[in-house]
C-alpha cells in the first residue's frame, strides 16, 4: 500500500504542475518583462511579474531618455527572487480514496457465513471532478472492494466450515459541497455488481467441499462529510502541491442489493448417477453501511 | 443525559448493531430413521423439531422438500395403520430449561401433503400403539425407560381418537395392583356388544391385564388379575380377539403359565355361572376361563382358525413338543406331539402333496431351528383327523426368520448365509445361497427382496424367478427405504448415504439396475436454511 501511495504522490506532483486551474507562477517573469515600454502595464495586469519590477533598473523607465539615447541592456534574471505563495481557493479535481466499508447484514441468511452481522469491506476508489462551480463539485468515480467471511461448526458441527467471498466493482457519482476550508459534505450514489463465491464444507459427505458462485447487482445511496487539510497545506516553495488535500471521510447510507441464490455443489466428478443439489436459499446482500475513507485530492 | 450515560448508550447501540448469529444455526440435526409415506420419504429431525418430506414419485429429483414444523423431541415415528398417506409422530416436547421455550408433548399426524394435526397433552409418553384400523392411538410410558428424571405416573395413559374432529386426548390412570402397562392389543374389528359395535383394547400389565372400552373412555376399565397373591408371576404376553364368535372372546397367552386364558365378553347381566367381573357403568361383563395345554407345554404362540364354522385355538407348546387345539365353547382340548418342537404358527389354506383339496393347515416352525412341521387342522381331533397328520421337513441350515411371500410360498432366511424358499403346497424347498439375508427387506409390491446392504452395492432377489442381482451406487448405503407408491408412477426404492447434509439415491424399484432412471439428491437437510425454512 505504501508503494501505491508513493506512486500516487508522484502522479499528484506532476498533475499539480500542469493543472489548469492552479495559480502557480513557475517562471520568473523578468526575462519577459524586459521591453521597457510595456513592462509597467504588464506588471499591473498580472500579479506574477510584480517582483521583476523591483529588479529592473529605474533608468530604463525614466523620462530622461528623451535627451540622449541610451543603450538599454536586458536585465539579468534574478534567480533567487521567490514569488509569494498563492492564496485563495484551490480546485482539486482528482479524488483517490482508501475505503473501509462496514455493512450490517441484519437478515439471518448472513449468519450462515458469519457469527456477526457487520462485515468490513476494504476497497479503493478514484474520482475526478468533472464539474466544479465553487462550492459545488460533481465527482464521478470508479471503485473496487473485496472481503470474505467464514464460520465454523454450524448446526452442531454438521457443517464444518462455511465461507463467502465477494468482489465488488462499482461506478458512482458524488455531489460535493465545500462548506468550510477544511470541511465539505457530499451525497453519493453508486451502482455495481458483487461477484460472490460461497463454500460449504460438510462434516460428513462423500462429495467434499461444495461451492457456488453468484452475481448480485447493487446500488448505494449515502451521504457524509470529509474533514480535510486546508488548501496549500502541502504547497512547496514554488507553489507545487498546493492543490493536494488529505482528509478523512465518513459516509453513511444503505446498500440495496439483489440477493444471491446459492446451490453449493462439488466441482469434481459426480459419479454415475445424476446428482441434484438443493438450494440452501438466497443470501440477502442489502443493509445499512458506514464508509470510512482516507482521501487524497489533487 | 450526562456524559457517562451517553457513552454507555453509544456502546450499547454499537454492540446491538454488531448482532450475533441466530441460535437456529447452532442446533444440531438429529434424524430418526427415514420413513416412507405414500410417494414421499420423510426425515424427522428431532433436533430442529421439523419433518422434511421429499416427493420421490417423479422421474427427476424434487427441487425442495416440504418442511413441516413439529413438536420437539420426536421419539417414535410410525406409518398410520390403514392410512398409507399418513404418519404418526410421538413427541416428548421441550422441557422447561433456561434459554429454551418450553413446549408441551404432543402427537402429530402428518400427511404426505404436508398437512399436520397435533394433539397436545402434558405427560411425555414415550410409547405408542395404534389400533389395527389406525383410528385409535394409545399412549403410555415405556416401562423399560427408567432413566428419566421426570416425575411420572406409570399407569397414566392417553387414548386419542384420530378420526374425531377436534378430539382431545382422553387421559386416564389405569387401576392396577402396582403394575404398569407393558403393551397394548386392540380388537382388529369392532366387537358387537348388546347390539352396538365397540372398539376394545387390552392393556397388558406385569401381572394383570385391563380391558378398556375405547368407545366409552369415560367408563372404568376392567382389570383382571392373572397372578394370584403369593404365586409365581404370570404375565400376559399375547392377545387375540375373536370378534366373530358369540359371545366375542379374547384369548390370552401368558408367560409363566401352561394355561391359556379365554375371556368372553357378554352383555351386562347375561352372564351366569362363570367367574365374572364387572366394573363401573360398563354395559358388558367379562367371563373368565382358563384351559390347560399340558404340563411343561410353555405356550409360545396362539392362532385362531375356523374349523367347520367353529372358531378354534391352536397353541404351540414347544416346552413339551406339542401342539394343542382348544375349543373354548366346549372346553375340549386336543394335544398332539410334534416330530420336532415348534414355537411359532403360520396358518394357511391350501393343498398338500397327498391331497389336492385346499384345506386349513398350519406350518409350525422355530426361529433358530432347522426343521418345520406341517399340520392339518380341518377336523382336528375327529375320526378323520385325529392327530393332525404332522409332517416334518428338515432344512439344510438353521433359519432365523420366516417371511411370507404369498399364499403358497414362504421364505426361511438362514441364520448364516442364504435362504430357503418353501412351497407350502408341494412342501418343497429351494435353497438360495448368498450373503446373510436376515435383515433383507421384502417388497412384495415389486416382487423383490432387498438385501441389507454393506458398502455401496444394493443387492436384490427377484421373487418371480429368484434371480439375484445387484447395482453399484456412488456412495455407501446407510438406510434402505421402500417407497410404496400410491400413484401411477413407478414404485421406488430409496437408499440414504452417510452425509451430514443429507444424501439419498432413488431407484426405480421395478428396474433398479437402470441407472438412467435413478437420481441422487443432496443437501436436502439444509435446503432453504438461509431463510429459516424450518420454523
**What one-character-per-residue DSSP string does B375-407 give?**
EE-TTBTSSTBSS---EEEE-SS-EEEEEEEET
Contact state of A278 with B532 under an 8 Å Cβ cutoff: no
Q: Cβ–Cβ contacts within 10 Å for residue B353, how many?
A: 11
Q: CA of A205: which chain B residue's CA is closest?
A: B499
User: E-strand spans in B297-447?
Assistant: 301-307, 310-317, 322-326, 333-337, 344-352, 355-365, 371-376, 391-394, 399-406, 409-414, 419-423, 428-432, 441-443
Contact state of B19 with A118 under an 8 Å Cβ cutoff: yes
Contact partners, residue B281, CB within 8 Å, separation at least 6: B219, B220
All residues of chain A having their beta carbon less than 8 Å from the beta carbon of residue B25 are: 108, 111-112, 154-155
Least CB-CB distance to A155: which of B27, B503, B522?
B27
All residues of chain A having their beta carbon less than 8 Å from the beta carbon of residue B498 are: 204, 206
Residue A53 predicted with pLDDT over 50: no
Contact state of B29 with A157 under an 8 Å Cβ cutoff: no
Contact state of A156 with B28 under an 8 Å Cβ cutoff: yes
Backbone angles phi, psi at A44, to 5 degrees: -75, -30
Contact partners, residue B426, CB within 8 Å, separation at least 6: B353
Pairwise CA distance, residues B212 & B224, whole Å = 11
Least CB-CB distance to B29: which of A158, A200, A272?
A158
For chain B, the 3-state helix, strand and coil shares in percent, each to the nearest 5, are: 5, 45, 50
All residues of chain A having their beta carbon less than 8 Å from the beta carbon of residue B474 are: 206, 270-273, 275
Contact state of B474 with A271 under an 8 Å Cβ cutoff: yes
User: Which of A120, A155, A261 to mutate: most B Cβ within 10 Å?
Assistant: A155
Pairwise CA distance, residues A291 & A170, whole Å = 14
What is residue B148's predicted lDDT score, i.e. its pLDDT? 67
Contact (CB, 8 A) for B461 and B468: yes
Contact (CB, 8 A) for A204 and B498: yes
Q: How confident is the model at residue A78 (pLDDT cuts 50, 70, 90)?
A: low
What is residue B534's predicted lDDT score, i.e. its pLDDT? 42
The mean per-residue pLDDT over the stretch A43-57 comes to 38
Contact partners, residue A36, CB within 8 Å, separation at least 6: A56, A60, A61, A72
Pairwise CA distance, residues A163 & A246, whole Å = 36
All residues of chain B having their beta carbon less than 8 Å from the beta carbon of residue A102 are: none
Q: Cβ–Cβ contacts within 10 Å for residue B162, how many?
A: 21
Q: What is the pTM for the complete model shown?
A: 0.81
Strand partners, A50: none
Pairwise CA distance, residues A92 & A16, whole Å = 9
User: Which of A278, A279, A285, A290 to mutate: most B Cβ within 10 Å?
Assistant: A278
What is residue B145's predicted lDDT score, i.e. its pLDDT? 81
The mean per-residue pLDDT over the stretch A32-37 comes to 36
Least CB-CB distance to A158: which of B500, B520, B530?
B500
Pairwise CA distance, residues B228 & B211, whole Å = 19
Least CB-CB distance to A280: which of B18, B21, B529?
B529
Distance from CA of A244 to the nearest CA of B (A): 35
What is residue B38's predicted lDDT score, i.e. its pLDDT? 87
Exposed e or buried b for every residue in A250-268, given b needs 16+ CB within 10 A? ebebebebbbbebbbbbee
Contact state of B522 with A275 under an 8 Å Cβ cutoff: yes
All residues of chain A having their beta carbon less than 8 Å from the beta carbon of residue B532 are: 108
Pairwise CA distance, residues B479 & B470, whole Å = 16
pLDDT tens over chain B, length 535 residues: 455 565 555 445 454 456 778 888 999 999 999 999 988 999 999 999 999 999 998 888 998 999 999 999 999 999 999 998 999 999 999 988 888 889 999 999 999 999 999 999 999 999 999 998 999 999 999 888 877 677 888 889 999 999 988 789 999 898 877 778 999 999 988 888 878 888 899 999 888 899 999 888 888 888 888 877 777 788 889 999 999 888 899 999 999 899 999 999 988 755 444 444 444 578 888 988 999 999 999 999 999 999 988 999 999 999 999 999 999 888 889 999 999 999 999 999 999 999 999 999 999 999 999 999 999 999 988 888 888 999 999 999 999 999 998 899 999 999 998 889 999 999 999 888 877 888 888 888 888 889 866 789 999 988 888 788 899 999 999 999 988 766 556 789 999 999 999 999 999 999 999 999 999 999 999 999 998 744 3
Contact state of B25 with A155 under an 8 Å Cβ cutoff: yes
Contact partners, residue A146, CB within 8 Å, separation at least 6: A121, A122, A123, A165, A166, A167, A168
Set of cell numbers at residue B394: 428338515
Contact (CB, 8 A) for B276 and B287: yes
Q: Cβ–Cβ contacts within 10 Å for residue B283, how many?
A: 15
Least CB-CB distance to A273: which of B501, B515, B523?
B515
Contact state of A118 with B29 under an 8 Å Cβ cutoff: no
Set of cell numbers at residue B345: 404358527
Pick from B422, B416, B420, B421: nearest CA to B435:
B416
Radius of gyration of chain A (CA): 30
Q: Give the H/E segment covering residue B116.
A: strand B116-120
Contact partners, residue B477, CB within 8 Å, separation at least 6: B453, B454, B455, B456, B457, B458, B495, B496, B497
All residues of chain A having their beta carbon less than 8 Å from the beta carbon of residue B530 are: 108-109, 112, 262, 280-283
Pairwise CA distance, residues A96 & A143, whole Å = 10
> Which positions in chain A have a beta carbon within 8 angstroms of at least one beta carbon in chain B?
104, 106, 108-109, 111-112, 114-118, 151, 154-159, 200, 202-207, 210, 262, 264-265, 270-283
Contact (CB, 8 A) for B350 and B407: yes
Q: Hey, what's the torsion of the CAs at A257, A262, A268, A272, to 10 degrees?
A: -150
DSSP string over chain A: -HHHHHHHHHHHHHHHHH-TT-----S-GGGGG--HHHHHHHHHH-STTHHHHHHS-GGGG-GGGGTS--PPPPPPP-TT-PPPPP-S-----EEEEEEEEEEE--SGGGGGT-SSSEEEEEEEEEEE-SEEETTEEEEEEEEEEEEEEEEEEEGGGTEEEEEEEEEEEEEEEEEEEEEETTEEEEEEEEEEEEEEEEEEEESS-TT--EEEEEEEEEEEEEEEEEEEPPTTTT--TTSTTTT-EEEEEEEEEEEEE--EEE--B-SS---SS-EEEPP-EEE---EEEEEEEEEEE-
Distance from CA of A28 to the nearest CA of B (A): 57
Predicted interface score ipTM higher than 0.85: no
Contact (CB, 8 A) for B460 and B478: no
Backbone angles phi, psi at A37, to 5 degrees: -70, -25
Distance from CA of A217 to the nearest CA of B (A): 19
Contact state of A115 with B20 under an 8 Å Cβ cutoff: yes
Set of cell numbers at residue B297: 407345554
All residues of chain B having their beta carbon less than 8 Å from the beta carbon of residue A275 are: 474, 519-522
Pairwise CA distance, residues B496 & B43, whole Å = 11
All residues of chain A having their beta carbon less than 8 Å from the beta carbon of residue B526 are: 155, 159, 278, 280
Identify which of A80-84, A86-90, B174-178 has the greatest average pLDDT.
Answer: B174-178
Contact state of A117 with B28 under an 8 Å Cβ cutoff: no
Contact state of A206 with B473 under an 8 Å Cβ cutoff: no
Q: CA of A107: which chain B residue's CA is closest?
A: B531
User: Which of B19, B503, B516, B533 to mutate: most A Cβ within 10 Å?
Assistant: B19
Pairwise CA distance, residues A16 & A22, whole Å = 7
All residues of chain B having their beta carbon less than 8 Å from the beta carbon of residue A206 are: 474-476, 497-499, 503
The string of pLDDT tens digits covering residues B213-237 is 988 888 888 888 887 777 778 888 9
Set of cell numbers at residue B355: 391331497
How wide is the angle at C-alpha B32 spanned by C-alphas B30 and B38, nearest 5°? 130
Distance from CA of A264 to the nearest CA of B (A): 9
Pairwise CA distance, residues B490 & B480, whole Å = 17
What is residue A81's predicted lDDT score, i.e. its pLDDT? 57
CA distances from A37 to A29, B20, B96, B192 (A): 15, 81, 104, 139
Amino acid at each position: 500500500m505504501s508503494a501505491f501511495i508513493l506512486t500516487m504522490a508522484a502522479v499528484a506532483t506532476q498533475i499539480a504542475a500542469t493543472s489548469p486551474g492552479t495559480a502557480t507562477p513557475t517562471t520568473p517573469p523578468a526575462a519577459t518583462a524586459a521591453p521597457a515600454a510595456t513592462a509597467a502595464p504588464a506588471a499591473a495586469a498580472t500579479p506574477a511579474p510584480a517582483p521583476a519590477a523591483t529588479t529592473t533598473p529605474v533608468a530604463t523607465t525614466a523620462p530622461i531618455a528623451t535627451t540622449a539615447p541610451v543603450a538599454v541592456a536586458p536585465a539579468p534574471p534574478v534567480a533567487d527572487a521567490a514569488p509569494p505563495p498563492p492564496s485563495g481557493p484551490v480546485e482539486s479535481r482528482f479524488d483517490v480514496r482508501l475505503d473501509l466499508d462496514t455493512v450490517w447484514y441484519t437478515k439471518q441468511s448472513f449468519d450462515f457465513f458469519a457469527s456477526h452481522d457487520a462485515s468490513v469491506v476494504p476497497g479503493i476508489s478514484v474520482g475526478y471532478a468533472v464539474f466544479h462551480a465553487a462550492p459545488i463539485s460533481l465527482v464521478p468515480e470508479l471503485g473496487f472492494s473485496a472481503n470474505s467471511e467464514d464460520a465454523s461448526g454450524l448446526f452442531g458441527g454438521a457443517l464444518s466450515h462455511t465461507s463467502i467471498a465477494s468482489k465488488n466493482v462499482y461506478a458512482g457519482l458524488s455531489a460535493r459541497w465545500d462548506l468550510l476550508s477544511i470541511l465539505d459534505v457530499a451525497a453519493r450514489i453508486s451502482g455495481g455488481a458483487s461477484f460472490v463465491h460461497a463454500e460449504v464444507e460438510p462434516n460428513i459427505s462423500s462429495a467434499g467441499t461444495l461451492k457456488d458462485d453468484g452475481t448480485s447487482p447493487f446500488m448505494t445511496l449515502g451521504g457524509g462529510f470529509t474533514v480535510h487539510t486546508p488548501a496549500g497545506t502541502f504547497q512547496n516553495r514554488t507553489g507545487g502541491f498546493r492543490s493536494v488535500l488529505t482528509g478523512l471521510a465518513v459516509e453513511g447510507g444503505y446498500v440495496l442489493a439483489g440477493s444471491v441464490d446459492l446451490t453449493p455443489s462439488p466441482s469434481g466428478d459426480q459419479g454415475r448417477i445424476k446428482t441434484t443439489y438443493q438450494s440452501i436459499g438466497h443470501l440477502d446482500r442489502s443493509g445499512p453501511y458506514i464508509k470510512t475513507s482516507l482521501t487524497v485530492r489533487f | 443525559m450526562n456524559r457517562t450515560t451517553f457513552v454507555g448508550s453509544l456502546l450499547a447501540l454499537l454492540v446491538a448493531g454488531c448482532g450475533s448469529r441466530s441460535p437456529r444455526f447452532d442446533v444440531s440435526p438429529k434424524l430418526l430413521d427415514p420413513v416412507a409415506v405414500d410417494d414421499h420419504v420423510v426425515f424427522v429431525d428431532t433436533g430442529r423439531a421439523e419433518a422434511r418430506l421429499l416427493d420421490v414419485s417423479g422421474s427427476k429429483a424434487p427441487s425442495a422438500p416440504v418442511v413441516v414444523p413439529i413438536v420437539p423431541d420426536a421419539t417414535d415415528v410410525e406409518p398410520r395403520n390403514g392410512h398409507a398417506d399418513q404418519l404418526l409422530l410421538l413427541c416428548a416436547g421441550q422441557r422447561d430449561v433456561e434459554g429454551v421455550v418450553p413446549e408441551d408433548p404432543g402427537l402429530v399426524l402428518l400427511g404426505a401433503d404436508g398437512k399436520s394435526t397435533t394433539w397436545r397433552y402434558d405427560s411425555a409418553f414415550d410409547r405408542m400403539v395404534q389400533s389395527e384400523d389406525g383410528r385409535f392411538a394409545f399412549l403410555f410410558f415405556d416401562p423399560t425407560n427408567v432413566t428419566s428424571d421426570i416425575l411420572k405416573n406409570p399407569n397414566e395413559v392417553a387414548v386419542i381418537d384420530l378420526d374425531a374432529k377436534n378430539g382431545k386426548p382422553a387421559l386416564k390412570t389405569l387401576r392396577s395392583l402396582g403394575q404398569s402397562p407393558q403393551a397394548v392389543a386392540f380388537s382388529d374389528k369392532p366387537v358387537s356388544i348388546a347390539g352396538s359395535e365397540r372398539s376394545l383394547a387390552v392393556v397388558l400389565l406385569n401381572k394383570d391385564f385391563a380391558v378398556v372400552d375405547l368407545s366409552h373412555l369415560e367408563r372404568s376399565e376392567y382389570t383382571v388379575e392373572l397372578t394370584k397373591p403369593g404365586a409365581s408371576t404370570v404375565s400376559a404376553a399375547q392377545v387375540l380377539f375373536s370378534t366373530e364368535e358369540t359371545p366375542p372372546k379374547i384369548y390370552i397367552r401368558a408367560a409363566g403359565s401352561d394355561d391359556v386364558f379365554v375371556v368372553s365378553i357378554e352383555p351386562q347381566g347375561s352372564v351366569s355361572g362363570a367367574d365374572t367381573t364387572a366394573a363401573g357403568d360398563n354395559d358388558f361383563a367379562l367371563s373368565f376361563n382358563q384351559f390347560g395345554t399340558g404340563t411343561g407345554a410353555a405356550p409360545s404362540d396362539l392362532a385362531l382358525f375356523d374349523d367347520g364354522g367353529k372358531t378354534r385355538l391352536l397353541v404351540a407348546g414347544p416346552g413339551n413338543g406339542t401342539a394343542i387345539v382348544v375349543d373354548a365353547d366346549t372346553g375340549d382340548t386336543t394335544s398332539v406331539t410334534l416330530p420336532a418342537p415348534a414355537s411359532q404358527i403360520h396358518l394357511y389354506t391350501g393343498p398338500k402333496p397327498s391331497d389336492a383339496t385346499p384345506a386349513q393347515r398350519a406350518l409350525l416352525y422355530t426361529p433358530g431351528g432347522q426343521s418345520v412341521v406341517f399340520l392339518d387342522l380341518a377336523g382336528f381331533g375327529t375320526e378323520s383327523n385325529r392327530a393332525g397328520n404332522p409332517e416334518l421337513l428338515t432344512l439344510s441350515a438353521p433359519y432365523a426368520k420366516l417371511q411370507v411371500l404369498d399364499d403358497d410360498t414362504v421364505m426361511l432366511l438362514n441364520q448364516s448365509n442364504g435362504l430357503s424358499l418353501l412351497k407350502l403346497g408341494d412342501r418343497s424347498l429351494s435353497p438360495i445361497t448368498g450373503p446373510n439375508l436376515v435383515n433383507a427387506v421384502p417388497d412384495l409390491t415389486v416382487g423383490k427382496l432387498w438385501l441389507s446392504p454393506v458398502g455401496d452395492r444394493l443387492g436384490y432377489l427377484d421373487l418371480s424367478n429368484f434371480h439375484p442381482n445387484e447395482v453399484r451406487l456412488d456412495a455407501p448405503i446407510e438406510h434402505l427405504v421402500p417407497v410404496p407408491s400410491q400413484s401411477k408412477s413407478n414404485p421406488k426404492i430409496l437408499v440414504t448415504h452417510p452425509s451430514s447434509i443429507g444424501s439419498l439415491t432413488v431407484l426405480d424399484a421395478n428396474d433398479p439396475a437402470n441407472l438412467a432412471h435413478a437420481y441422487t439428491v443432496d443437501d436436502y437437510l439444509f435446503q432453504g436454511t438461509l431463510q429459516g425454512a424450518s420454523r
